[in-house]
Chains A and B, each alone.
Chain A
Amino acid sequence: ELTRRLNSALRDLRGRGKLSEKIVDEALRDVRRAMLEADVNYQVAKDFIRRVREKAIGQEVLKSVRPAQVVVKIVHDELVQLLGGEASTLDLSSSGSTVIMLVGLQGSGKTTVAGKLALHLRSRGKKTLLVAADVYRPAAGDQLSLLGEQIQVPVYVASGKKPVEICAKAKERARREGIDAVLLDTAGRWHIDKEMMQELVDIRRKVAPDEILLVADAMTGQEAVNLAKEFDALLDLSGVVLTKMDGDARGGAALSLRAVTGKPIKYVGMGEKLDALEPFYPDRMASRILG
């Protein structure tokens, strides 16, 4: 789609061996528009375009190739490099129980991701424990308990206790019972809610999770940058899970999250069922963002 649009935009600009500034700027105007339409953050898109511009100007254009194709290839490759990096797996290397904490905004899909990760781990032979650390949302404990039942993973629910204590007690129980992986499902919250963010900081200090994953909706708009910055600054995230990727959101938030935190996107949610968890593929994401 982008290549087609660029081909028509650059139709009359035949590159003579090298990409001129004029051709590159013309092409990048369309690329920038595509990225903003895909929800890439305004500033992130600006920085990205500037980097690509430097790489593109002066690039060789073979006789058989159109200038648009060269620009799109440079953009696509740069996007893949930015999105990619380390492998998308959980760090299960710690001896004893691996504690994985899930955080994010309201309704982003944390509880469902907890269930998905639990199923994923249990099917790899890991003794897993789900922990209901959301004491605010009506029936949050019931929701997680039902998910645990569906996949035969025990769920730790302690009504009346505070989240920090719940997580601490769960970790103790995990150590006693030789549990391999503990998944802490926390309540959705704003990155600007000082009290609720402090609660996450307290859990982290008390329990020292091996992984802190930001669960973010693939359709998040421009604010992806601010929420990522804040969660990462306070918690030093180990990775991101992008949910609801089975929809038609272009997912530019992925680039924003990655650009702002530098942390890897480890998994994507591809549906409501607990088996709908897939590894993150940077090249597929790049094509999706560019449309």
Chain B
Amino acid sequence: VRGHGCLDAELLEQMEEILIRGDVGVETTAKLLEGLKEKSRAAGQLKPGQILAILRQQIEEILGDERSKESSLPLSSTPHVILVAGVNGTGKTTSIAKLAKIYLDRGRTVLLASCDTFRAAANEQLEIWARRLGVGMVKNQPGADPAAVAFDALRAAQARGIDVLIIDTAGRLHTKSTLMEELKKIKRVIGKQIQNGPHETLLVLDATVGQNAISQARLFHEALGLSGILLAKLDGTAKGGIVIAIKDRLNIPVSYIGIGENLDDLERFDVGKFVGALFS
């Protein structure tokens, strides 16, 4: 990292280290530092405090999104269908339970659907959460077609006048095309049964994952068209800076963050808070 005008090399290197270690990635870090150099060129003299403020502002501009300013719980039809997908072990099943709680706390009725027909005890895991929440759950026969289970769950939700249907899917690597086709089929089936369905498609990302999250976001987005990211496991030491690159390149906003293993550990994404934590 070379020094630039009134930005000395050592300070720039410190900023670079903070960003890289926050999993922001090489390319996005370079872009942010380049923007910083331009601003310093224009401003002439910059104090260290201003440098941090400029970086924070740049990141907030990238992450800010009008969509997240809408009513925090858009319910477009009955039921409002949320499809949840992501790579293995990122926190989908647990996040779905937490999401259900948010809706229940606002007086909505919720139905859960377990479309993970592969993982050992996937039904049992979601069933325990459903029981804790006091909500219904559509389970599957292991080995059944997940799209058929999704279809049955949607019909049930429509018949019972349920407000929100949340669909849990099996974890899968984005590089496995047959598994990605399976997801596309689930989405098609939902879309045929209800207009604009699924109304939300969330990608659950693990905050401890590095640059591979970009590849995950790209391929899941190509397959499904994502409405938002749920960044789970942000209660550890990882900063999840990868969402900046994802927003910058794919324009996918972060909708929620997971901050623990219990039902209350899900929050709507707060850009200011997130950027503050990145530099703490």
A residues whose Cβ falls under 8 Å from a Cβ of B: 33, 36-39, 41-42, 105-109, 136-139, 142-143, 145-147, 150, 190-192, 217, 219-223, 226-227, 244, 246-250, 252-253, 272
Contacts and interface: CB of A to CB of B under 8 A. Distances in A.
Secondary structure at the B interface, as helix, strand, loop or mixed, is loop
A138 B236 CA distance: 21
A33 B25 CA distance: 10
A26 to B, nearest CB: 14
A192 B235 CA distance: 10
B206 A107 contact: yes
Given A37-B25, A42-B17, A247-B175, A143 B121 contact: yes
Contacts of A107: 88-91, 206, 233
B210 A244 contact: no
B37 interface: no
A105 B236 contact: yes
A39 B17 CA distance: 13
Contacts, number: 123
A249 B33 CA distance: 26
B91 A106 contact: yes
A219 B125 contact: no
A253 B88 CA distance: 18
A146 B261 contact: no
A107 B233 CA distance: 10
Contact of B210 (A191, A219, A272): A219
B56 interface: no
A143 B125 contact: yes
A219 B237 contact: no
B21 A244 contact: no
A39 B210 contact: yes
Contact of A221 (B127, B129, B238): B238
Contacts of B26: 33, 36-37
Contacts of B237: 190-192, 223, 226-227
A106 B261 contact: yes
A190 B87 CA distance: 20
Of B20, B120, B128, chain A has the most CB atoms within 10 Å of the CB of B120
Interface of B: 17, 20-23, 25-26, 87-91, 118-121, 124-125, 127-129, 173-175, 206, 208-213, 215, 233, 235-238, 242, 261
Contacts of A248: 173-175, 212, 215
Contact of B242 (A36, A191, A192, A221): A221
Of B89, B127, B215, B242, chain A has the most CB atoms within 10 Å of the CB of B89
A261 to B, nearest CB: 17
Contacts of B175: 246-248
Given A221-B209, A223-B208, A272-B88, 17 more contacts: A36-B25, A41-B21, A42-B17, A105-B236, A106-B89, A107-B89, A107-B206, A138-B129, A139-B125, A139-B128, A143-B124, A190-B237, A219-B206, A221-B211, A222-B210, A223-B236, A253-B210
15 contacts: A42-B20, A105-B208, A105-B233, A107-B89, A108-B89, A109-B88, A136-B261, A139-B127, A142-B124, A221-B242, A246-B173, A246-B175, A247-B87, A250-B211, A253-B210
A2 to B, nearest CB: 14
A106 B119 CA distance: 16
A278 to B, nearest CB: 16
A108 B208 CA distance: 10
A37 B128 contact: no
Given A142-B121, A217-B208, A42 B25 contact: no
Contacts of A191: 236-237
Nearest to B242: A221
A143 B23 contact: no
Contacts of B242: 221
Contacts of A105: 208, 233, 236
B95 to A, nearest CB: 11
A222 B20 contact: yes
B10 to A, nearest CB: 14
A191 B238 CA distance: 11
